[in-house]
Amino acid sequence: MLPKSDNQKADARALALVASYERAGYARAEPAVLQPAEPFLDLSGEDIRSRMYLTTDADGRELCLRPDFTIAVSRDYLASKQAGQTASFCYSGPIFRQLSDGAGEVLQAGVESFGRRDIAAADAECLSLGLEATALFGIETPVIRMGDVGLFAALVTALKLAPAWKRRLVKDFNRKADLARDLDQLTLGSMNDRRDYQGVLAAMAGSDPKAAHALVTDLLSIAGISAVGGRSVGEIADRFLEQAALGSTASLPKEMRVLIERFLGVTGDPDECAAQLRALAKDAKIDLTDALDLFESRVGFIAARGVKVNGIDFSAAFSNGLDYYTGFEFRLHDPKGRIDTPLAAGGRYDNLLTRLGSATPIPAVGLGVWIERLALAGGAK
């Protein structure tokens, strides 16, 4: 934690950062601190769900202190007259998460951009704004770590797998232990974790999905269960249905697992990795053209902004750990290793707005900057 005087300097620099974002065309957003808990429980990563501050109102509705700006800003955007239109927002304020060092309130700034169709250029701009933030705090050349869950999703889509397994693999991409277990289960053709409720799953297998979902939801509600381990009733019901579908799937050919692991092992600078991934796709006779074209276009826009592409650390297995990311992801780290957690992080979340209620898909990309970490790494001078 920063001393009080340094905190004040960090706050002032956060305001200067947001002012620069406003000059760049990002309107100031100020979402409420108290938010409905369900969207965060349903859509965030396990790390956020397990650290949320939860409460209930007089009517029994579950609420939380704002643990994340992206979902909060997205909800306000969808509730506004700008919904569906191109709009960009910036913010500065506290988020609330239970952290290992005892801190529960953390200052964050950032941007969210909705509706832009020039995907590669918008991604590059988001990374550039993150680099401007580190520079403001005296860190000119942070370590840039980059990934793209969209590439993994394209790979899984091209494979001959049951739809339920495709969804499972993409969903578990953010959780490496779960993804490894998925691959083990697929390769062995077994679902050992189903032994405690095989009868339920067998009864649900092949049933109408909507009816099965309603049945599980009703049973959980009757039992008085509203959430388990940070998962909502709806999410638990979805998991049961998914388990029923996964259990009927044949085993994964070993060569397909080798292909997936070869993909996940691709690391290096983005240009080198693009070449490796094109060679992989050619060898496996699968089509990753669209995803790789977007990837290379993004790299071109990043280079056009003066970023040294050969200094970027890309990994095909990289993830920020948030379930709502769908494409480009990145983190900026302290080059001197004084802070071992990210100074800034962001990425693309094109499906989030639909999951929050939008009738049509809205492309979106955002950036979060951890002000106190930046102040510690760069010195609040």
By residue range, what is the domain housing residue 237?
163-246
Neighbours of 365 (CB within 10 A): 26
Query: Is 69 a member of any domain?
Result: yes
Length of the chain: 381
Q: Do 123 and 220 belong to one domain?
A: no
pLDDT at 6 over 50: yes
What is residue 62's predicted lDDT score, i.e. its pLDDT? 94
Q: What is the CATH number of the domain that holds 112?
A: 3.30.930.10
Determine contact, residues 107/14, Cβ cutoff 8 Å.
Answer: yes
User: Which of 231, 246, 261 is the last residue in one of the domains?
Assistant: 246
The dihedrals phi and psi of 271, each to the nearest 5 degrees, come to: -65, -45
3-state secondary structure of 63: strand
246, 276, 307: which is the final residue of a domain?
246
Inside any domain, residue 197: yes
Quote the crossing angle between the two packed helices 371-378 and 4-23, to the nearest 10°.
Answer: 110
Q: What is the pTM of this model?
A: 0.82
State pLDDT tens for residues 105-149: 999 999 999 999 999 999 999 999 999 999 999 999 999 999 999
Write down the residue that tokens 């942070």 correspond to. 142
Do residue 182 and residue 64 come from a single domain? no
Q: 117 and 169 share a domain?
A: no
Give the residue-averaged pLDDT of 186-196: 54
62 and 109 in a single domain? The answer is yes
Residue 180: which residues within 8 A CB-CB, separation 6 or more? none
Partners of 228 in the beta sheet?
231
Contact in structure between 76 and 114 (CB atoms under 8 Å) = no
Same domain for 133 and 42, yes or no, is yes
Sign of the dihedral defined by the CA atoms of residues 8, 25, 327, 151, in that order? negative
Q: What is the pLDDT of residue 50?
A: 84
pLDDT of res. 154: 97
Cα→Cα distances 178→49, 171, 272, 318, 330, Å = 17, 10, 28, 15, 21
Q: What is the mean pLDDT of the chain?
A: 86
208 in any annotated domain: yes
DSSP per-residue letters across 214-238: HHHHHHHHHTT--EETTEEHHHHHH
Please, which residues have CB within 8 angstroms of residue 303's CB and are 6 or more apart in sequence?
Answer: 309
> Does 171 lie in the same domain as 88?
no
> What is the pLDDT averaged over residues 220-235?
60
Tell the residue number behind the tokens 């269960």, with chain if given.
225
| Percentage of residues in the chain having pLDDT higher than 90 | 61
**Nearest CA to 159 among 293, 79, 50, 261?**
261
Q: What is the pLDDT of residue 9?
A: 67
Q: Is 340 exposed, middle or buried (0-12, 13-18, 19+ CB in 10 A)?
A: exposed
Q: Are residues 15 and 133 in the same domain?
A: yes
Map tokens 């009733």 to a residue. 233
Q: Do 187 and 72 belong to one domain?
A: no
CA 63 – CA 57 distance, rounded (Å):
7
Residues 167 and 115 both lie in one domain? no
User: Per the domain annotation, does 286 fall within a domain?
Assistant: no
The pLDDT confidence band at residue 101, using thresholds 50, 70 and 90, is low
pLDDT of residue 161: 84
Do 5 and 116 lie in one domain? The reply is: yes
**Which of 202, 224, 246 finishes a domain?**
246
Whether 345 is covered by a domain: the verdict is: no
Pair 63, 135 in one domain: yes
- Dist. CA 274–CA 281, nearest whole Å: 11
Q: What is the CA radius of gyration of the chain?
A: 22
Give residue 45's pLDDT: 75
Which contacts (CB < 8 Å, 24+ apart) does range 210-215 have?
212/237, 212/240, 212/241, 212/244, 213/237, 213/238, 213/241
Question: How many independent structural domains does the chain possess?
Answer: 2
Average pLDDT over residues 350-369: 96
| pLDDT in the model for residue 278 | 98
pLDDT digits (tens, 9 = 90+) for 23-80: 999 999 999 999 999 999 888 877 788 889 999 999 989 999 999 999 999 999 999 9
Query: Residues 224, 131: one domain?
Result: no
85 vs 21, 140, 358, CA distance in Å? 19, 34, 12
**Structural domain contains residue 235:** yes
Give me the phi and psi of 183, to 5 degrees please: -65, -35
204 domain residue, yes or no? yes
- 191 has pLDDT over 60: no
Q: Looking at the domain assignment, is residue 205 inside a domain?
A: yes
